[in-house]
Amino acid sequence: MTYDSIANPVWFDAAHTMISVDIVFHDLGTTPVKFNASPEDVMDYGREIYADLVAGKYGPIAEHTA
């Protein structure tokens, strides 16, 4: 699946197992949707997004807040 933009990365939990982002998927229109990126995602693009986020491609990742 292709995506046009990723914004607002936040650690999903205190253990830093996933990252929540606002993402615009090309096939779904122009409205951002929430997406939880994981290094163990079953889809290649999920793992790729997670790796890019951890590498800093989309800026700093905000800490999880309860």
Average pLDDT along the chain, 66 residues, taken 10 residues at a time: 93 96 93 96 95 97 92
| Alpha-carbon span 14 to 4, nearest angstrom | 28
The pLDDT value given to residue 66? 78
The CA distances from residue 45 to 32, 64, 66, in Å, are 16, 23, 28
| 43-46 contacts, C-beta under 8 A, 24 or more apart | 43/1, 45/1, 45/3
Secondary structure (3-state) at 46: helix
Tell me which amino acid residue 54 is.
V
Q: Which uninterrupted H or E stretch holds 5?
A: strand 3-11
The pLDDT value given to residue 1? 77
